A and B are shown apart, each in its own frame.
Chain A
Amino acid sequence: MREDLQHAVKLARIELTPEEEARLGSQLGDILKYIDKLNELDVKDVEPTAHAVPLTNVLREDQPGKSLSHEAAMRNAPQTANGLFIVPKIVE
């Protein structure tokens, strides 16, 4: 797999087997070649569409709402202890 795609794999934190790497590398190469099509467009003076609807100032009042019970919050956790979500040791 080419280096720039490998870098993306690393950023995305997805472990690949060597054959996945080879297969995805080749498929993504084709896909990237296809999307290069967009370079044909003249977009010099075009505004990007960042939002699907032209809304602004959608806010909510600073009023308390419902929280989950502690049990519901932890219900799906792979590992817990002392009310905390447990993960492998974080080293700074």
Chain B
Amino acid sequence: MPHTLTISQLTDKLAQGELTSREATQACLDRIAAVDGQLNAFLSHDLEDALAQADAADAARAAGEIKALLGVPIAMKDVIAVNGHPLNCASKILGDFNSPYDATVTQKLREAGAVIFGRVNMDEFAMGSSTENSAFGPARNPWDTGRIPGGSSGGSAVAVVADECIASIGSDTGGSIRQPAALCGCVGLKPTYGRVSRYGLVAFASSLDQIGPLTKDVRDAAIMLGVIAGEDKRDSTNVPEPVPDYTAALTGDIKGLKIGLPKEYQIDGLDPEVKAATDAAVAELEKQGAEVKEISLPHTEYAIATYYIIATAEASANLARFEGVRYGARVDGASPEAMNRATRGAGFGEEVKRRIILGTYVLSSGYYDAYYLRAQKARTLIRQDFLNAFEQVDLIASPTTPTPAFKIGEKSGDPLQMYLSDIFTISCNLAGLCGISVPCGFSKEGLPLGLQLLGKPFGEPDLLRAAHAYEQATDWHTKRPQLV
């Protein structure tokens, strides 16, 4: 079944001539037709365009071309510019916006020969942890379609786990790749800030956003990272650090690797099954030779407040451009101001409105020092916690989420409750680290559980090495939900 393959399995078969890209792509398209009605992972996909790309990849391969992702179907979170494709960020406000340019990551995927198809569902403008904030209905967890898949890259995780694509590109601002990966049972990697160009990623929080892959296994994540990482002169925050061969890091040997367990992460709301699964995963790492010790991240309790001030402040400015002048679904008004108000009132969903108002508030005259400036200082303290920890350990391990996937609608009436569930993922973005979630078990109800590993800035090789070593000792990552 071509659509169930991983990137490395598919590229092998393509190279051997056992499969064509057209067959693989067609298999994904058929799968979408069969299951997406109940999952709502895809907001749109262009069959003809996808098959045309697949055919082109087959022709290129026949002509002798060798590229890392040649002919591999990859789905894109609806937040990344693909030239000639719609771009909505799962919002009504963008209307029928069609992107006239490619994001850098899109270009890199093209250069690697990928079949770039489909826009997958997300929380509107990447604001959310459940994909319930999509203007086009939530995506559904393939293990239990009455539950959330996580967010904001919910559609990406669903599409990967349901074998609707071979891999997906998502974005992570406070956990938006790692958390849905954990709740759906796939791998989700957030690279170090500055590792991957943000040019063409619709900005939510400029100092926190990063693009990253959601994949079926760690090797695939390493392959994807190798393709999308690297220098880009169109992004001033991009760090011109050389890109190593990330697959070469997957040696399987983690002897001597030091792993820290933050004592502040033993919170009250931690589900006992999640705790048990994470403990077992850490035990496995120890069995393979890693040294495990307790560390302290003393400012953990301030991370969520810090995040929701900085991220919303930046977002309030980043989303000011959506007002109906140059693009989007305009609602008319007697003056430009009236037009802006009406367009934004009608076009933005409630979570987006909430965050824009909050962000505007914390920057406004009289409040800047008390909120924004203070949060920037708290961020320094949080960052310092991690720098101190990484003097003693190479990686930090924790559950990715405090609980398995909750039911759709369960938390959507209480935004603050939703924010608090980001506790384990959020600091990684504030501190500029890299992080990964790998499947580490299932709850009694059959819901996936995720193990999170955090690494130093540009420490992806160690991160992938440990994640891979753990993964290969288990078979969580091979499990798939029963769908059709």
Contacts and interface: CB of A to CB of B under 8 A. Distances in A.
On whether A and B touch (CB less than 8 Å), the answer reads yes
Contact of B305 (A24, A38, A51): A38
B120 interface: no
B484 to A, nearest CB: 38
Interface in B6-32: none
B103 interface: no
Contacts of A17: 345
B360 A15 contact: no
B357 A12 contact: yes
Given A13-B340, A53-B193, A8 B357 contact: yes
Contacts of B337: 13
A83 to B, nearest CB: 13
B371 A35 contact: yes
A85 B324 CA distance: 10
Chain A interface residue number, banded: 35 or more
A81 interface: no
A76 B86 CA distance: 11
B328 interface: yes
Contacts of A38: 302, 305-306, 309, 371, 374-375, 378
Interface in B304-354: 304-306, 308-309, 316, 320, 323-330, 332-342, 344-346, 348, 350, 353-354
Contacts of B334: 88
B63 interface: no
Nearest to B339: A88
B253 interface: no
A13 B344 contact: yes
A24 B364 contact: no
B357 A28 contact: yes
A55 B377 contact: no
10 contacts: A9-B357, A12-B356, A15-B346, A31-B415, A34-B305, A35-B308, A41-B374, A43-B381, A60-B233, A88-B336
- Nearest first, the 10 A-B pairs at minimum CB distance are A15-B345, A48-B376, A76-B327, A43-B377, A78-B330, A8-B361, A15-B341, A72-B100, A35-B305, A46-B377
Interface of A: 4-5, 7-9, 11-17, 20, 23-24, 27-28, 30-32, 34-35, 37-41, 43, 46-53, 55, 58, 60, 68, 72-73, 75-79, 85, 87-91
